[in-house]
Homo-oligomer: A and B are copies of this chain.
Amino acid sequence: MVTSHDVARLAGVSQPTVSRALRDSPKVSEETKERVRQAARTLGYVISETGRALASGRSRRVGLLVTDLENQFYPYAISAMHRQLESMDYQLILHTESSDGERIAERLFAHSLDGVLLATTTSDSSLPLRLKDRGVPFVYFNRTAASVEADSTTADAVNGLGELARAVLDQGHRRVAAIFGPRNTSTGEEREEALRAALELEGVTVPVALTRRGAFDVQTGYRGMGELLALRERPTVVVCSNDVVALGALNAAHELGVRVPEDVSVVGFDDLPPARWPMFSLTTVGFDLAAMARAAARLLIERVEGGETAGPFRHEVFPTSLVLRRTLGPVPTP
């Protein structure tokens, strides 16, 4: 393997000069830098990140913790995060495990990450506190947490579900069911509160009998919809905690021969690409997911590089808007 000593020999400079030149240090003349780069190219030398990490105390690696990668939301976000991080010369280390906070924390520390993006944190997780204690910067993506403050990027649930609720009520719906997200996620809590508040303005509530709750996955929507459609008094509309849950609900309706939106309306949140597929054509709440993912990466790197001087925590809330498609229709006439 080619080392910096080989490059130094060929360029006729000292080894520390090679390091400085390749780091583009202002202490080295442009002419010397060019000679060193030329020598490095000739020998096929690549700066070792491992060596650089020990020298700078920074690994230029950040972790992304996401426990449900199969949820289609995340692949769309990860590509955008990866591109943003790469443009800032950082690498993305993916952690998909769903073990307890302590074990993940040990792994994250052992890998000398400069920071961590938390994408699926539950509000009862001990991980944020452990990261804070160790001084590892982190950013919440599509989450906020009550216990430990940090930078965050989220979608504006209040506005999005406000618009959605008004559209639902405008179509005459009063028997509104909801399949909410888990109680121990900020995203689940926020969306539930936003929907209930918006409906309440018109005196409409989601009764316990029409409330279902579960993980942000297809199964939750499929099972919840099956139960709601088995009720003697069915809801006329089902508001789902996200698009993936709504796809599960649409499939349950299809399987039971219940027509959407003629017999029951279904709406989601996220506007993932499948929401646009003609077979789903899901009415949902949209926002710029890629921009939100890039912002999380940017906030993290600013926090990593700013150190103690990075200032107060920032919460970037991305604007949302209602996307009307086929699955929301007028309340069925009995």
| Residues of chain B within 8 A of A53, CB atoms compared | 50
Task: Point out the residues of chain B lying under 8 angstroms from A1, CB to CB.
Answer: 135
Minimal beta-carbon separation of A92 from chain B (angstroms): 5
- Counting CB contacts under 8 A, is A48 at the interface? yes
A46 sits at the interface (CB 8 A): yes
The count of chain A contact residues (Cβ–Cβ below 8 Å) is 50
Q: Are A75 and B74 in contact (CB under 8 A)?
A: yes
Q: Is the CB of B59 within 8 A of A69?
A: no
Are A93 and B93 neighbours in the complex by a CB distance under 8 Å? yes
Distance (Å) between the CB of A73 and the closest chain B CB?
10
Judging by beta carbons under 8 Å apart, are B91 and A93 in contact?
A: yes
Known: A69-B79, A96-B78. A110 touches B46 (CB 8 A): yes
Interface string of A246-258 (1 = CB under 8 A from B): 0100111011000
* From B51, B86, B92, B109, contact of A46 by CB (8 A): B109
Report the Cα distance A298→B232, complex, angstroms.
53
Taken together as a complex, chains A and B put the C-alpha atoms of A110 and B69 apart, in Å, by: 27
Complex Cα–Cα for A53 and B134 (A): 22
Query: Is B254 touching A49 in the complex (CB atoms < 8 A)?
Result: no
Which B residues are CB-close (under 8 A) to A94?
78, 82, 92-94
Within 8 A of B (CB), among A277-302: 277-280
CB distance from A151 to the nearest CB of B (A): 22
A97 at the interface (CB under 8 A from B): yes
B residues near A86, Cβ cutoff 8 Å:
97, 107
Does A83 contact B112, Cβ atoms closer than 8 Å?
no
Instruction: Say yes or no for A34: interface residue by CB 8 A criterion.
Output: no
Given A75-B75, A78-B96, A254-B279, 15 more contacts at CB 8 Å? A44-B134, A46-B109, A49-B112, A54-B54, A61-B93, A70-B79, A70-B273, A78-B94, A82-B94, A83-B97, A94-B94, A218-B273, A218-B277, A251-B278, A279-B279
